[in-house]
Each structure stands twice: as structure tokens, then as C-alpha cells.
Amino acid sequence: MAAGFKTAEPLEYHRSFLKENCRSDGRELGEFRPTTLNLSSISTADGSALVKIGNTTVICGIKAELTMPPSDAPNKGYMVPNVDLPPLCSSKFRPGPPGEQAQAASQFIADVIESSDLINMEELCIDKSKLCWVLYCDIMCLDYDGNLLDACIIVLLAALKNAQLPEVTINKETDLAEVDIQKKKPLKINRLPVGSSFAVFDDSIIIVDPTAEEESLSTALLTVVTDEEDRLCAVHKPGGTSLSGEKLQHCINRAITRNKEISKLVGKVIESKTTAK
């Protein structure tokens, strides 16, 4: 009976739970799904990680390459994030070039990298105007069940913390770069940005960490990114109904708490990997 009601009237089905301040999967309105993290998931990458938020599963590989610094920033390296949503992760995605959601996610990640000061790009420069590191951050969703952006930020942060770059020096006689793969050092991460996504039901009820079905039924979606010092790094709201200042502040406060939870998880996983070596 319940399954039939859910199929025939999905919105009313979810409303029946929201009226009781809970959700169809048993969570409270402000409760995130279990989050798990694994490092070094891709042996061929310079750094990698895999994260699961409920069923949503995302993997990230960092590939570092040497190149010329950009002409407008000769003393800096740069990062190129790319989010891939292949058909294998959900029937809603089709083969071919990146769709609108994948492009929007890639741009959002690029904006978070810049606004949060995640990495000091000057430290990626080896020789001004001549040589720098470019970090290709390939993020692929393996299983899509909502809340993609939160998963992308966590997996990128973990993969960067897992990454190690070889030592590079410039030979003064030949003016060529010499790479010592035996000497590797980790990237210096300046900030710990963490995203918290929310869905709005009936223009008034706010839930965190929406599933794919909850996203499709909501009247608005919102992602708030804060760092470990409780600073606001980014707010992403692609249309939908407006939110009052009070409700937005509620979301920011929940995002600050979420940052502490994820920072603790990332630190714990990295520490356990270091101990295991």
C-alpha cells in the first residue's frame, strides 16, 4: 500500500512524513546520511579519494602535470576541476558531452577553490613565467542519489590532502626541469571548505542532505560552503523559492556544524592511513 502511494503521489507521500518532522528514510530533517571516506582509491593518480554520502558515491583522482604558468599570473600554478556524471551513476544522465548539471557542478567546484583559498597557487609555481604545476582534479560520480555537490567538495579535499608531488628543480646549465620522483612532498592545504546542501519543501520546510527523489520534489535547493574558521566561502542557490534571512542563517549554522564533523572525519582517515604505513 505504502509503495503504491509513494509511486502514485510521491510529493504527498513525503509530505506525510514531513508533517511529523521526519523523513521517509527515517532521518530527522537536519540529519545527514552516514558519510564514509577512503583514500588512495586510484593507484595511478598523484592523490585520490572515494566518498559515500548514503548511496551517493563519488571518486576523485588528482593528476599533476608540469606546464607554463598562465600569462596573467606568471607566478602561480592552477587547478582544473572536472565533474563527470556518466550514465552508469543514474538513468537520468545520458552518454555524450557533459550535461548542464555536470558543467554547473564543475564551475561550482572551481568557484569554491578560488573563494576558499584552498591552496596557495603561488606554491604550485616552480619557475616564474616558465614552469608550474597544473592539478587536474577529475571527479566522477559512481552512484547518484542526490547531494552531489557536498560529496564533490569532500572527495576533492580528501584527494588533495592525499596528493604528493615530486621534487622539481631547474638545472642552471641546461635550463631544463629535473624531476625527482623519489622525493615527494604533500600539498599544503590552507583551508578546509565543506559544503552542506539543503532542499526546501512547500516553500517553508528545510531538510539537509536531500536524496535524488527529495531534490526532484523540492521547491528550491541551496548549498552553503564554510571553512574550519566558520567563514562563509560560497552560497549556491540555483533559482527556486526565496529564503528569509532567518532561514538562511539557520542553514549557515548547520553548515558550520557539518564542517566540524567532516573535518574530524577527514583528519581521522588521514591519521589512520599514516599510522598504517
**Rounded to a whole number, what is the distance in angstroms from the first to the last CA of the chain?**
53
**Distance (Å, whole) CA 112 – CA 56:** 21
Which residues touch 97 (CB under 8 Å, ≥6 apart)?
Answer: none
Structure confidence at residue 8 (pLDDT): 67
Residue ranges and CATH numbers for the domains of the chain are: 32-276 (3.30.230.70)
- Which amino acid is it at 182? Q
Cβ atoms within 10 Å, residue 129? 13
Does 38 score more than 50 pLDDT? yes
- pLDDT band of residue 15 (cuts 50, 70, 90) is confident
Residue 146 CB-density burial (10 A; 0-12 exposed, 13-18 middle, 19+ buried): buried
| Cβ atoms < 10 Å from Cβ of 118 | 22
Asked whether the predicted pLDDT for residue 5 surpasses 60, the reply is no
* CA nearest to 193, candidates 92, 118, 104: 118
Q: Considering the chain, what is the average pLDDT of its residues?
A: 90
Model confidence over 123-164: pLDDT tens digits? Answer: 999 888 889 999 999 999 999 999 999 999 999 999 999 999
Q: Which of 2, 5, 6, 34 is nearest to 213 (CA)?
A: 6
Instruction: Give the per-residue pLDDT at 1.
Output: 47
Note the pLDDT tens digit of each residue in 164-217: 999 888 777 777 777 878 888 899 999 999 999 999 988 789 999 999 999 999
Q: What are phi and psi of 244, to 5 degrees?
A: -70, 160
Q: Taking the model in full, what pTM does it have?
A: 0.92
Q: Can you give the pLDDT at residue 197? A: 97
Q: Beta strand 194-201 with 220-226: parallel, antiparallel or unpaired?
A: antiparallel
